[in-house]
């Protein structure tokens, strides 16, 4: 519990709620910094709700800056941002991503193309979403083995296609979006 029970009486009525805990003399900004870090880790699914609550309690019980720093010292480094954006307008891009692919990826090709190579990339188990927008151009995405690809994209005077062997895997990539006067192709290993 982050506060202590408080009974407030006004005009003959009693209200019970949580009060602000009695905090040791530490700058509020120092506590806020640690709370912000913990919140980012929770948002990135690197802390459970129980772990977050326990660490919040430790933040409010900390009596020194050293104790505050110890609360987050064991956390791994946060990786790349959770959302990436790749855009080509009147041009072409051929990016190659290695390492962990973000959970949400946005690709846009306007009068141009994007050829994204993910063959050396890693995907976490669960769903990764790639939102594609094409107008008078194309997007091609190459995937490694061990990834299941699904598409729910829409096309107007164009198409969405998955080429290669579709298999069941713990990592799922869902391609969404729209192709107008263009196409989106996902290439899987055969």
Per-residue pLDDT of the chain in tens (190 residues, 90 and over written 9): 444 454 445 555 555 555 445 545 678 888 888 888 888 888 777 788 899 999 999 998 998 888 888 898 887 766 544 448 899 999 999 998 878 888 899 999 999 999 999 999 888 888 999 999 999 999 999 999 889 999 999 999 999 999 988 778 888 999 999 999 999 999 998 7
Please identify, among 50, 73, 96, the residue that sits at the C-terminal boundary of a domain: 73
The model carries a pTM of 0.57
Q: Are 96 and 140 in contact (CB under 8 A)?
A: no
Count of domains for the chain: 2
With 0-12 / 13-18 / 19 or more C-beta atoms within 10 angstroms meaning exposed / middle / buried, residue 184 is buried
Q: Are both 69 and 133 inside the same structural domain?
A: no
Among 73, 97, 125, the domain-final residue is 73
HSE on the CB side for 189, CA within 13 Å? 9
In a domain, 135, yes or no: yes
Q: Are residues 104 and 183 in the same domain?
A: yes
Query: What is the model's pLDDT at position 116?
Result: 95
CA–CA separation, 47 vs 13, rounded Å? 40
Q: What is the pLDDT of residue 79?
A: 56
pLDDT at 126 (0 to 100)? 87
Domain that holds residue 16: 4-73
User: What is the pLDDT at residue 9?
Assistant: 53
């Amino acid at each position: 519990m982050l506060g202590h029970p408080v009974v407030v009486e006004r005009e003959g009525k009693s209200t019970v709620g949580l009060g602000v805990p009695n905090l040791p003399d530490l700058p509020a900004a120092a506590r806020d910094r640690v709370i912000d870090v913990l919140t980012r880790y929770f948002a990135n699914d690197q802390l459970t709700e129980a772990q977050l609550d326990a660490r919040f309690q430790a933040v409010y019980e900390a009596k020194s800056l050293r104790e505050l720093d110890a609360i987050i010292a064991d956390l791994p480094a946060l990786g790349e941002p959770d959302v990436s954006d790749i855009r080509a307008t009147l041009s072409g891009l051929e990016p190659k991503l290695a390492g962990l692919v973000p959970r949400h990826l946005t690709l846009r090709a306007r009068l141009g193309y994007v050829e994204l190579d993910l063959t050396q990339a890693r995907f976490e188990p669960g769903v990764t979403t790639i939102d594609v927008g094409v107008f008078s151009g194309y997007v091609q995405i190459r995937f490694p083995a061990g990834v299941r690809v699904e598409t729910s994209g829409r096309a107007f005077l164009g198409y969405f296609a998955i080429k290669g062997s579709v298999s069941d895997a713990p990592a799922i990539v869902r391609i969404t979006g729209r192709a107008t006067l263009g196409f989106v192709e996902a290439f899987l290993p055969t």
